[in-house]
Amino acid sequence: MKKAGYRRLIILLMVLIIGLAILAMCVGRYSMNPGDVFNVFGARMNLCTLEDQTMDTVVFRIRLPRIIAALLIGAMLSMSGAVYQGVFRNPLVSPDLLGVSGGACVGAAAAILLGMGMAQRQLLAFLGGMLAVFLSTIIPRILRNGSNLMLVLSGIIVSGFMTSLLGILKFVAEEQTELSAIVFWQMGSLQDIKPNDALALLPVFLIGAGVMIALSWRINILSFGETEAKTLGMNVKRMRTVTIACASLLTATAVCVCGTIGWIGLVIPHLGRLIVGADHTRMLPTAGLLGGLFLLVIDTIARAASTVEIPLSILTGIIGAPFYAWLLYRQRARVS
């Protein structure tokens, strides 16, 4: 793809995102038309007056925060998935490779059992996720083997351990209330997003995604393997640590706000590669935009398709799994 084509694609994706965001502000239990949405924004900028203040509340307190959160979280998950796949040189890897999701689930479940509120639940989920990453990265160091494979294996160990811990917590949970809260959280949802949550995501996203994009060309080199990266003058250990830390931070932040959402981090990078090629300098921003777009669509369906909220992982799986099969069909020559 030529430079001009890439630029056009980025602009197209941005326009699509804005268009879909406006559409998403219209749909829901309280339905509006795009004109209403423009009025709401106009009123905020003192350009016109609003007859019905409900619209303002619906847009600014409920739908806009949720749309922003969906865009950011979709971008976070798919970008960190892309970085993990590049650094681990494995297209089957997803952002919870190092046990982030498992750790976050344990943290959140513990908070639910302790009867904590939403804020503490997010905090514990974040701590659980980062603890899992810490454990996954400390095992290879104890075993004095710094290879990628060892890191992947220790990720499997930590994930498995976290799954069992979660099992214990579910086992002792009270069935009617606590257990269903844990299960619902595990399947991911954006319905409890507050305007503050959406704002809190922004700085983390900017830092994590900013560093990853700044290093995206170096990720190309990392994906050739350790020997090649070293002989090209790279400090492999440091580069790997920084990129994995950023990707894990983004994943843990996303997971602690909305629970675990499967498939996005695995599928969207593949789609990005199919459209713009493997070069991470283009693939990362593309994957970010595509991921945001994808989760925005999924979340809008989740809240508007029926009278009850559909958990996100159900939808991402139902749409993502066949989509992944289609992507593999398209790339079949390159998968061995």
Partner 1 sequence: MLIEAKDISFGYGPTNIFNKLSLNINVSEVLCILGPNGAGKTTLMNCLVGLYPVKTGKILLEGQDILSLSPRYVAQRIGYVPQVIVPTFSYSVLEYVVTGCAPHIGTFERPGEEEYEKAMAALREMGIARLSDKAYNEISGGERQQASIARVLAQKPSVILMDEPTAHLDYGNQYRVLDTIHGLKEKGFGVVLTTHNPDHPLMLGGRVAVIDREGNYVGGTAEEVINESFLKKLYGVDLQMTHVEALGRATVLPPKI
Which residues here bind partner 1, judged by CB under 8 A?
86, 89-91, 214-218, 220-221, 223-225, 227-228, 230-235, 273, 277-279, 281, 334
The CB-of-155 to partner 1 minimum distance in angstroms stands at: 18
Residue partners of 184: CB distance under 8 A and separation at least 6? 259, 311
Instruction: Pick the closest to residue 109 from 94, 120, 97 (CA basis).
Output: 120
The CB-of-79 to partner 1 minimum distance in angstroms stands at: 16
Instruction: Pick the closest to residue 134 from 107, 114, 111 (CA basis).
Output: 107
Q: Is 171 exposed, middle or buried (0-12, 13-18, 19+ CB in 10 A)?
A: exposed
The CB-of-332 to partner 1 minimum distance in angstroms stands at: 13
Tokens of 195: 């305007």
Our CB check for partner 1 shows the closer of 58 and 93 to be 93
The CB-of-257 to partner 1 minimum distance in angstroms stands at: 29
Q: How far apart are CA 33 and CA 50, in angstroms?
A: 14
The conformation of residue 96, written as its DSSP 8-state character, comes to G
The CB-of-213 to partner 1 minimum distance in angstroms stands at: 10
Our CB check for partner 1 shows the closer of 163 and 281 to be 281
The torsion region of residue 156 among left (phi > 0), alpha (psi -120 to 50) and beta comes to alpha
Distances (CA, A) of 275 to 80, 133, 219, 283: 18, 31, 18, 8
Our CB check for partner 1 shows the closer of 107 and 285 to be 285
Our CB check for partner 1 shows the closer of 165 and 215 to be 215
The CB-of-83 to partner 1 minimum distance in angstroms stands at: 13
Summarize the chain as % helix, strand, coil (round to 5): 80, 0, 20
The CB-of-22 to partner 1 minimum distance in angstroms stands at: 34
Our CB check for partner 1 shows the closer of 47 and 232 to be 232
Our CB check for partner 1 shows the closer of 231 and 306 to be 231
Which DSSP string corresponds to 284-332?
HHHHHHHHHHHHHHHHHHHHHSSSSPPPHHHHHHHHHHHHHHHHHHHTG
3-class DSSP state for residue 107?
Answer: helix
With beta carbons less than 8 A apart as the criterion, state whether 289 and 10 touch. Answer: yes
Our CB check for partner 1 shows the closer of 92 and 142 to be 92
The CB-of-291 to partner 1 minimum distance in angstroms stands at: 18
Our CB check for partner 1 shows the closer of 222 and 250 to be 222
Instruction: Pick the closest to residue 277 from 208, 331, 222, 209 (CA basis).
Output: 331
Our CB check for partner 1 shows the closer of 279 and 309 to be 279
With beta carbons less than 8 A apart as the criterion, state whether 285 and 17 touch. Answer: no
The CB-of-211 to partner 1 minimum distance in angstroms stands at: 9
